Structure 1
C-alpha cells in the first residue's frame, strides 16, 4: 500500500475533483457534493476559500460540512458549529478473514433504511445517495438494518471508511468493528490504504487506535449554513 501525503492532506478536494467529480458541482477553487449525497464542501486552498465558486450551486437554507478552513464567513454564509476531528490511517495488518460474512451490499432499495440509521446514530454528513459513493455493507435482523459501514472519500491509493453505525438495540455485539475489518480487508487486498475520520471528543477514537489506526492529523471541521442567495 502506498499513498501521497499531499493527497491525504487535501482529501476532500482530491475526492471531489477526482474520483467523485461526477457527483460534484461548483467552479474555480470550490466544489460540493450535489444534493442527495453527503453535504460537504471543499476548497482548493482553505487559506483562500473560493466562495464565489459555490455561488450558483448552493441555495439558502442548505447546511454543509467543511474541513480545514478557519477564516471568517463571507456575506451570505454563517458558521453554525466549529470543532475538530482526527484523520486516521490504517497501520495494522490485513485481517485474515471476512469478519462480517453475514453482511450484504447495500443498494438503492436500502437507501431509506441507511439514511434513517445514519440520522439516528449521527456518524457524520450523510445523504440518501451516500451509499452510491463506494461499497456499503449492512447487517439486517428481521428485515431491519441494524448496522452498517461503507466507503466515502477516495483518491489515488486511498479509501475512506465512513458511515459506521449500529442501532442502539444492537450495540455491544461487535457489529461495527466486524464491518470495519471487513472493509479493511477488501480495501487492502485491492491495494488501497484505508483511513477514516472521527471527532476529537468521540470515545471511539481510542477504539480505533486499539484496532490499528494511527492519528495522521487533527483538523478543524465546521458546519456552514447558506443564509442568503447572492
Structure 2
C-alpha cells in the first residue's frame, strides 16, 4: 500500500481538499485561484489525455509533484523540472520565547500576503492560496514582515509552506519561528508536519533540519503549460 506522501497532490485533492479540485475523469488540477498543483490517478493514456484537457481548458501552468518524471502529457509542454526534497518532522525543536507577536492572518491580510509572496518567491502563491490552511505572520509598524502557513493536507499530514520574510526584516528569526509555530499547531491536531524544498537549496534544508525536519524522499516538480 502506497504512503500518502508518495503522491502528496493526489492524496490531498482526492481527500480532505477535494472540494478545491477541478476534475476530468482520472485527472485533477487545483482551481487556479488556489494553486498550480495537478495529478492523475495513474499513467494510463486516458488519464494523461484528461490532464491535458484540464490544462488547456483552464489555462496557466500546472505543477506535478511525483516520485519520478511523469510521462508526456498530450497537448502540453514542460516549462520547468526540478528535484525536490520531501522532509517530515520527526522531533520538532522546542519553540523559544520571542519579543515579537505571532498573529493569525485573515482574508483582510490577503493583498499583503500576495504582495509579500510576489516579492520573496517562497513558492507558487495565488489570490486564494492563503485559504488552503491556517496562516500566521509578524507585523512591523502595521505592515506584514513575515508569514508561514499550510498548503497540502493529505490524510494525517499537513504541509508547512508559504514561509517568507520581507528583505527589510530578514535575519531576525521571524521565518524560522513562524515555521515552528505552524508545525507545532499541526502536531497538536494529531497530524505530522512535512514540507518540500528544492534539493539544491542547501541553506534552507539546513534550517529545516535544525527545526526537526528530516529527509523522507526525493520528489520531482514538473511544471506544464498548454503547448
User: TM-score, normalization: structure 1?
Assistant: 0.88
Aligned match of 1:41? 38
Deviations 1:129-175 (A, max 9, x none): 01111101111112221100000111221111000011111000000
Please show how residues 24-35 of structure 1 align to structure 2 within 5 Å. 24-35=21-32
Cα 1:201–1:186, aligned 2, differ >3 Å: closer, same or farther? same
Instruction: State yes or no: 1:95 paired with 2:94.
Output: yes
Q: Which runs of 5+ in 2 are unaligned?
A: none
- Please give the alpha-carbon distance, in whole angstroms, between the structure 1 residues aligned to 2:99 and 2:25: 42
Cα 1:46–1:111, aligned 2, differ >3 Å: closer, same or farther? farther
- Please give the alpha-carbon distance, in whole angstroms, between the structure 2 residues aligned to 1:15 and 1:164: 20
- Larger mean CA deviation between 41-50 and 177-186 belongs to 41-50
Aligned residues: 224
SS in 2 for 1:53: helix
Cα 1:218–1:224, aligned 2, differ >3 Å: closer, same or farther? same
Q: Which runs of 5+ in 1 are unaligned?
A: none
RMSD: 2.3
SS in 1 for 2:172: coil
- Please give the alpha-carbon distance, in whole angstroms, between the structure 1 residues aligned to 2:143 and 2:162: 17
